[in-house]
Amino acid sequence: MFMGSSDFNHISYPRIHGFAYSSIERDSGVVEMLSDIFNIGSSHGFAGSRHPRFLEDGNMFWPVHSRLTDNRSKEEKDREELNRAIALSLAEDSRRPNGSRQRMDIDEEPARELLDSLTRPSYPPYRRSNTQITVPCNPGGHRICGGCNQEIGYGNYLQCMNTYFHPECFRCLGCGHPIVEQEFSLSGRDPYHKSCFKERTHPKCEVCHQFIPTNSAGLIEYRCLPFWSQKYCPKHEHDKTARCCSCERLESRNARYIPLGDGRSSCSECMEFAIMDTADCQPLYQAVRDYYESKNMGLDQRIPVLLVETQALNEAIAGEKNGSHHMPETRGLCLSEEQTVISVLRRPSFGGHLFRMRTQPQRLARICEVTAILILFGLPRLLTGAILAHELMHAWLRLKGFRNLKPEVEEGICQVLSYMWLESEMKRDFRSIPSISTHSFSSSSSLSSSDFRSGRKSEVEKKLGEFFLHQITTDSSQAYGGGFRVANAAVSKYGLSYTLDHIRSTGSFPL
């Protein structure tokens, strides 16, 4: 899948201004400011006043005044002295050429900030909002901060998105800290640090937990596992990352898989419900036989069912002479030849790794058309049961005289029985008694006896069952996937019994 990196909207840093008034505003406002400070504007003076007089050259001097009693506080006197200094500076700056005023901006800034600090109230704490508030300038020319909603006095300010901000109020919506970098990202009207925006929107690999890199075309390319929607970097398909042999999910860095000792690995969720040895499988085998009985498809022969390792299954497949159709990764087999098979006699013990697995060779004599059913050990109960239902259908067809069926016909109808059994298990009430015989369970079962006897399936097992159903319905192979879809349509339309009779007489599905 691809995701365009153009989703990121990177913006250059907003303009930074020195003071909250322009040079034109400053020049034209010098006299106004002096008038405000010294009450200039009245044409009549009075004794003891401190009004300055302007000479022809533009200088300003203070007249000597009589000593009057001064009852003002020290703070008022300090403020007046500061006002006087600023007035002198502004008067001198107003007659300088434009080129020489740049330094004055710098010199007068500390004085103005000091004056502003004496008169301006402190800003309230910034509280981040999910909505960017845009407050335009007041009609009087005062600028209002879009972050704290307070007036911007003398000092630096930012202008972005037609809104003014105190530098400390222009903050990232993700982390809440001020944005001081040269570039930032926008989502609508909400600003973000580039790193915060990437953390929020850029997909991460669910295997290595790193940001999924872009490809040579600048696109974010990743793989997505069907059903589970597990996103991961393409490299993990080739870097020997472990994959669960049951649910097919890739091993994550923070969830180690359990090696089964035969080249396969299992995730902890699948291992929780795994059938680990031949004895462990017998109650489940009986449950599947009972399901066949309910469909009037009972079997007289008690066909052996053995759990085996991958190597033993592959050797058994190689020893078959009838050339049955098999998937590239086969997990079950219906034997029709006499063979010696090594089965898992006792389930492995766990200590981070498997050890002390007991196996034994078993000679399988051919008493009927079917010698035995072999299934890989270590698969979850629902998957093991679905494989059993599939292989038992192979056995039923052979024992009932179905011969020389095309792979898509035989595998298709076997997949239908597997799907029907699995679906019946999924439809059960989680608190109902499972469809098993009265055979007691092995004390070595990987499921706790209380959970298994009461039939309480966790949500995890339910999700696994849904995945196994999904695997059957979406299989892309011609024999298993295509055959299932044709067979399932026939059974849905005509019923199972009529479909089987049609297959016996014509070797194909009814249309």
Q: Consecutive 10-residue runs of the chain (511 residues): their mean pLDDT?
A: 43 44 40 42 39 36 40 62 63 54 48 49 36 42 85 84 88 91 85 88 90 87 93 92 96 90 93 92 95 94 92 88 64 85 70 61 75 95 97 94 93 97 82 41 42 58 95 95 97 97 95 88
Handedness of CA 500, 510, 328, 388 (dihedral sign): negative
Per-residue exposure over 304-333, b if at least 16 CB sit within 10 Å of its own CB, e if not:
bbbbbbbebbeebeeebeeebbbeeebbbb
pLDDT of residue 286: 95
Supply the pLDDT for residue 326.
Answer: 58
CA dihedral 9, 12, 18, 24 (to 10 degrees): -90
C-alpha distance from residue 109 to each of 77, 115, 374 (Å) = 21, 10, 88
Task: Report whether 375 contacts 332 (CB < 8 A).
Answer: yes
Query: Coil, strand or helix: which one is 98?
Result: helix
Locus of tokens 């059960």: 428
Q: What is the predicted pLDDT for the residue at 356?
A: 58
Sequence length of the chain is 511
Whether pTM > 0.85 for this model: the answer is: no
CB 509 within 8 A of CB 486: yes
pLDDT at 321: 64
Please tell me the predicted confidence (pLDDT) of residue 301.
85
Q: What is the DSSP string of 398-440?
A: HHTT--S--HHHHHHHHHHHHHHHHHHHHTS-TTSPPS--SPP
| Gap between the Cα atoms of 231 and 482, Å rounded | 28
Q: CA-to-CA distance for 210 and 207, rounded, in angstroms? A: 8
Query: Residue ranges of the alpha helices (H) in 29-101?
Result: 30-38, 74-94
- Please report the pLDDT score of residue 26 as a whole number: 40
H or E, element range at 108: helix 102-119
* pLDDT of amino acid 13: 45
Q: Residue 341: what pLDDT?
A: 80
214 phi and psi angles, rounded to 5 deg? -85, 155
